[in-house]
Structure 1
Amino acid sequence: MSYSQIQQTFQLCSYLLSYPDQELMDSLEDVKSELESLAFSAIKEELVQFLEKAKLKSLSELISTYVYTFDFGKKTNLYVTYMTNGEQRERGMDLLFLKNYYRLNGFDVTDKELPDYLPIMLEFASLVDKETLKPVFERYLDNIKEINNHLDSEVNLYGHITKTIVLALEEAGISKPVRRSGEIYV
């Protein structure tokens, strides 16, 4: 799988993890068509399964699943530093690290979302090279895997997306977590 396909996967996952609306529902077939260009069959299969399951739901059902999964799930919320830090001071340091790292690499984060919001992280990943990606995702790999481990794709369609993210990170060479990167001083 080429790195540009990995970036495309991150962008698709970021989009599919956005709060569901009619525009998302209307775009599911277009997203499925975009998957044809992906070479890694396991990633493609996970995303196709998500899309097929999403098409079977009404918008209100998809919203309900999303809210239940990500807004009320302490172990499955999309703020990756919350899992390890909660509201502790250390989380503030992680958020500052992310915001500064994004800025250093030309990625401006709006104030609408915290920088540890997984769709924002994936959007960043879709725009940068492997070396720029590594410090962020090595640092938070365990948190992302933890979210994935709590989402059984047989029960919750969003498990297909989190599994795709883990597979794409592995394809990008992110396989071992590193808590702090000695290469980055923020």
Structure 2
Amino acid sequence: MPSDAVLYQAAALCLTYPDDDLVARLPLLRQAAPQLRAFTDHAALTPPGELAAHYVEIFRRGNRHSLYLSRWHDGDAPRRGTPVARFRDLYRRHGLECSGAELPDFLPAVLEFTARTGDTSLLTEHRDGLERLRTRLAGCGTPYAGVLDAVCATLPAVPRPGTEHGTGERTSVRPARPSG
């Protein structure tokens, strides 16, 4: 079984917009992270245009399946800037900068950070949001749910409401009502 770092890096690639680079890397991703085979096999068999259209449908239409972790905690409120700044500050403390057009709370960026540093604090802190995203993705039957399944399987379970410590069981968290 590959290390969690390999899984996190592979999951980061699977959760980015599916371009030619991703398609070219699918055989390597399939081999390096067998936990993602359902997704990589699906992506390899799906025409690139359909794969891209599905990504847009799932992740870029509204916030129902947002890949921005602070949205699961803070929504689109103006106060969301503070948590986003915390992500950026943590990256800098590890000698990394967030590059590109995405904000530092973008899940693929967080997964890449975790793969490079071994610091799972952001994923653990946002475990509840990851579980809600995973549940929503599974509910709509997208292969992206399997990517979240694999990531969530590496993290501590979400404690059940009313308990101070989790039971070690995986729990399902009800999705919050969609905003808007």
TM-score, with length taken from structure 1: 0.78
Residue 124 of structure 2 aligns with which residue? 138
Which residue type is aligned with residue 61 of structure 2? F
More helix by share: 1
C-alpha distance in 1 between matches for 2:109 and 2:5: 13
- The within-5 A match list for 1:56-135 is 56-110=45-99, 112-129=101-118, 132-134=119-121
Q: How far apart are 1:161 and its partner, in Å?
A: 0.7
Residue 29 of structure 1 aligns with which residue? 27
Q: How far apart are 1:176 and its partner, in Å?
A: 4.4
**Cα distance 1:149–1:116, how it changes in 2: closer, same or farther (>3 A)?**
same
Q: Report runs of 4+ in structure 1 exceeding 3 Å deviation.
A: 174-177
Q: How far apart are 1:84 and its partner, in Å?
A: 2.9
Identity of aligned residues (%): 25
Segment of structure 1 superposing worse, 114-123 or 73-82: 73-82
Residue 5 of structure 1 aligns with which residue? 3
Contact 1:75/1:146, CA 8 A, preserved across alignment: no
Q: Determine helix, strand or coil for the equivalent of 2:120.
A: helix
Corresponding pairs, count: 159
- The within-5 A match list for 1:141-160 is 141-152=127-138, 155-160=141-146
**Cα distance 1:90–1:139, how it changes in 2: closer, same or farther (>3 A)?**
farther
Contact 1:11/1:126, CA 8 A, preserved across alignment: yes
Aligned-residue Cα RMSD (Å) equals 2.0
Q: Determine helix, strand or coil for the equivalent of 2:151.
A: helix
TM-score, with length taken from structure 2: 0.80
Q: Determine helix, strand or coil for the equivalent of 1:18.
A: coil
**Cα distance 1:146–1:69, how it changes in 2: closer, same or farther (>3 A)?**
same
The yes-or-no answer on 1:55 pairing with 2:44 is yes
Which residue type is aligned with residue 92 of structure 1? G
Which residue type is aligned with residue 144 of structure 1? L
The yes-or-no answer on 1:175 pairing with 2:137 is no
